[in-house]
Each structure stands twice: as structure tokens, then as C-alpha cells.
Amino acid sequence: MKQAAVMLAMIYCASARAQAPASGDPSATFRIGGFLTNAVTGEPVRRGTVTLQFLAGPRPGQAMYNVVADAGGHFEIGGAVAGHYQLSAERRGYPRQNFGGGEGLLVSGDRTDILFRMAPFAALTGKVVDENGDAVSGAAIQLMRSELQDGRRVLRPSIATITDDRGEYRVAALTQGRYYLSAYARAQAASERTVYPRRFFPGSPDLATASGLELEAGGNQHADFRLTPEPAFHIRGQVRRWEELTGIAVALSFRNPAERFGGMGYPVRLGAEGRFELSSIAPGQYIVTATAYEGTAIRTASQLVSVGTSDVEGLSLTPQSGTDLSGQLTVDTKQGAGAPAITLSLVPEDFVTRPVYMAQFSGTREFRIPQVLPGDYTLRMNVPEPYYVKSASVGGMDALTGTVTVPDSGGIPTLMVAIGTNGGEVSGTVKLQDRAAAECVVLLMRRGGVSPSQDKLVQTDANGKFILTAVAPGEYGIYAFRSLKNVEYHNPQTMTQYSGADLTVTEGGKQAVDLKLNNTIF
């Protein structure tokens, strides 16, 4: 019964909220209160710090409120004016958390019934042994956390540690979620010719066959490794034009970008005339990268290297500067004049070794993105309404549904971007069990799109209504959620479990659609 009551309390669409009627007096103040509870045990979280931060409303700049919950987990804040707030809580043993998954708290009256369920930290322990079952001390343990970014699942570096003299490790202060764990070590035979190669739990050579660990709030997972030594090899080569360069650095990384977090820490020796040597390398495919400076300009060179059964000799790297990508903007002026104030960027698929590049506009119709390093990028654009991105292409290839590839040799074609002003309009109502669902998120997604720039988000009003304007013509899917925090909406297979609607948006066209609310309980 207790668990059911907690779950019901988490259905917090505004239509189901119980609060006092809004006051017409803009100077009126209200009380915000409730209880902090442990999300696992349901017990009170005593002496937790609660912060109420004003975000938006009739009185911008309102001060931040801080209180400490009492021994029963109860807190109360007085003097809050009407507006939109962020309510957060933290305490030792718990990460800082935002109430409502970060969607915020709309205050228009007293709110004294808030149940703030705080998820305690998780921990991970384990042991690393060698092929004989003996403890491996000083083995590197690395964690990567699976997260959602723009509706796509990505891996983020989390924590790194090493095993102690008993081969044991412990990683604490972890938030709940899915993690991928790896271990590696230098062989204990004190030889460069032997190494314990990196292994992903439970013993896989790569992420593709690894198993993720689901850490629950307050839980303590255990993960052991048995490492087997393998022959290790050297990579030797030279950085060309070394006499013109300064600050030369050579690094080795895995071919798969998702496996590069943390690095392997391969020893590298830099000698005279730009010569280098990398040692203790297990068989596999790698990227060797040389970075250097010519004056203030950064130059780089990368090469794919396959390490098999022998040393790699004679590798030659010639660092080059990035390529300037030029662009041209075309604006439909039938309903507007001039170019809008837009932002345009290239986001690398391999964000570990490549930065995000921003366009520089030299006029109303031309722009350039300077010194872009070779690689694959996703185009992102922000265009103010009533404008919308009509099309974007490089060398005749669609840059909105595919990637922008910058080659090693330069010579990339001009990026052509067309901006329209006569977009479509989509409106409707979101309901939860025949009741209006207020303050919920409506997501409009372009079918076949890659760039997040094509997604449109809007929040429903107090009557569950929404309107999306300046929508580019095309095929779309439209959905309603309480929050997008845990929705992998750029995964077509994931989206099959949610209810939504298909739309065809035409230039200047208007249409209405009613939606049912998805995932209302967290």
C-alpha cells in the first residue's frame, strides 16, 4: 500500500495537482513544503538541504531560498511569489537531485504536499586476478555511464580507479543507471613484451559484446575480472615537418570512439627528428594521432594502424591544419526581409578528439567554419521563428538527414543552407484519461532526420493545449510526454512502445491533432 501511494504521488501532471487557487495579487506569497524520503526504503531523509531557485515569472531576480529539513524529513519554505521554480535537494550519501526530473515546479498557490523521493548513491566493488588466480595490483578500472543526449544513447566517462595490493577495488558515489566497466594492466613480469589487454565486463575484448551493469539506487554491485597476458608490440614512426613544429605530441586511441574514454596510457618516447615509439600495445586496431603547433595554429594527423603479430615500423604522420568550410545562406524573403540571427555548428561524432565548430557569419548571406579537422559531423542549427530550415546540403548531399564529412585532403564543397518563412502549423490537445494534461512536453520529430535541429518541442498550457509554428514541410511523428529525460526518442525501435501520430506538414498548412500522454509515472 505504501509503495502504491508513492507511485500515485509521482503522477504529477498539473491536471492532477492539488494546490490552492492562484491569487490575483502579484505581491502575494506562498508556502512550499513537503517531505524528503529515501526512494529505496521510504524512510525520511533527515537534515537534507532543500533549495528553491526562481526561474521565471512576474518578478525576475527573486532570491534563492535554502532550508534544512528537520529530523522527520519535513521542510517548508515561505515567501515564494508566483512563478516557475527549480526545487532541488541534497545530503551526504545522496546526489543533488531536482524535483520532477528537472522539469521545474510551477507555483501559483501554497504547495505543502510535495513528496521528494531522493535516490541514494550506489557502489561497485570487485577483484582483478591474473591467469593463475593471483591478485593484480595497480590494475586500471574505468567506468562509462550510458546516458541520453538529444534522444540518443551515448557513453560518458564516469570514474577511474586502480586495484589495491589485494587486487580489489571499490567505486562509490555512483548514481543509478547503466554502466560499462573495463580493466587492464601491465603484465607483472616486468616486460614490455607482455600486457594484460583491456577487457570489458564480464571479459569481452570490445564494447559490442560487453554486458552493461544496471546499478540501482543504494545498491552495491560486484564485478570481478580475470586477465590473461598477451604478447605486446611496438609502433615506431616519424612526425614529418618536425623542424617547423613545436609542442609535438603523439597519442594512441582505440579505433572505436566509444572505447576511447580514459585512454590506455601507452608509453610513448619522442626522439630526435620527430621520431616516436609507442610500446606495450596489445593486438587490435588503433588510431595514432600526432598533434603539434605551427605558430599559433594547431596541426594534426591521424592514421589507422592494425597491430597483429609483429611490431609496426615506418609510420609517417604529417600534421595538417584544419579545413575552412565555407557556406552560403539563402533566405525566402516573401514574408520577411534579410537573414535571421541564426547559430550553426558542426558536432563531431567522435567528440573525444574533435571539438564542436561554430560558424562565423561575415555578412547576411555568407559564413565560414574555420579550421575544421577531418571527420564526420552532425549539422545543428537554431533559427528563430517564423523562420525554419528548409534545406542544407554539401556537394549535393543532404546535411540534415546524413553526416557532413570533412576529408583529410581538404577541398570540401560549400555548405548550402536555405531558410524559409512559410512553415506549417500543428496544434492540438494532450489528454490523460480524458483530462487535460498541462505542463507536458509535445515532441515533433522529422522522419528520417539525423540533425536534432529538426526536432521541435513545446509545453502544453493549463488546458493541455499546444501549438507548433514555423514547421518545415515534411513527414513527422508527434508524441506527448511528461518528461523526455528517460526517453530514447531517436531510437525507432524504442519509439514503437509509445503512442503518437503521423503527420504530413505542408508549406503554410495548418492541422490539428489530439494526443494521449505517455510515461506519466517515474
3-state DSSP of 206-234 = CHHHCCCEEECCCCEEECCEECCCEECEE
User: How far apart, in whole angstroms, are the C-alpha atoms of residue 187 and residue 250?
Assistant: 23
Residues 6+ apart with CB under 8 A from 491: 151, 152, 153
Q: Are residues 6 and 114 in the same domain?
A: yes
**If we measure between CA atoms, which residue out of 113, 121, 63, 127 comes closest to residue 90?**
121
CB contact at 8 A, 85 and 52:
yes
* Residue bearing cell 521563428: 385
Q: Are residues 225 and 296 in the same domain?
A: no
Give the CA dihedral 502, 507, 512, 517, nearest 10 degrees: 50
Which of 359, 389, 420 terminates a domain? The answer is 420
Q: In sequence order, what are the beta bridge partners of 369? A: 325
Measure CA of the first residue to CA of the last residue in the chain; give whole Å: 17
Q: Are residues 447 and 474 in the same domain?
A: yes
Q: Are residues 298 and 342 in the same domain?
A: no
HSE-CB at 88 with a 13 A cutoff on CA atoms is 15
Kindly report the number of other CB atoms within 10 A of residue 126's CB atom: 19
Number of compact structural domains in the chain = 5
CATH number, domain with residue 253: 2.60.40
User: How far apart, in whole angstroms, are the C-alpha atoms of residue 147 and residue 278?
Assistant: 33
User: How far apart, in whole angstroms, are the C-alpha atoms of residue 179 and residue 327?
Assistant: 40
Q: Are residues 131 and 219 in the same domain?
A: yes
Which of 88, 118, 148 terminates a domain? The answer is 118
User: How far apart, in whole angstroms, are the C-alpha atoms of residue 124 and residue 143?
Assistant: 10
Domain of residue 205 covers: 122-230
Paired sense of beta strands 94-98 and 404-406, if any: unpaired
Q: Are residues 369 and 438 in the same domain?
A: no
Sheet strands (E) in 334-374: 343-348, 357-358, 360-361, 366-372
Phi, psi for 113 (deg, rounded to 5): -115, 25
Q: Tens-digit pLDDT profile for the chain (522 aa)?
A: 333 333 323 333 443 333 334 445 667 889 999 999 999 999 999 999 999 988 765 555 555 788 999 999 999 999 888 888 889 999 999 999 888 765 678 888 898 989 999 999 999 999 999 999 999 999 999 999 988 877 888 888 888 899 999 999 999 999 999 999 999 887 654 456 888 888 999 999 888 889 999 999 999 999 999 999 989 899 999 999 888 888 898 988 887 766 766 555 677 888 889 999 998 888 888 989 898 888 777 888 888 899 999 999 999 999 888 888 899 888 876 554 556 778 899 988 766 567 788 988 866 688 888 888 878 888 888 888 888 998 899 888 888 887 888 887 667 788 999 988 899 999 999 998 888 888 889 999 988 765 666 788 898 998 999 999 999 998 999 999 988 878 888 888 888 889 999 999 999 999 999 999 986 443
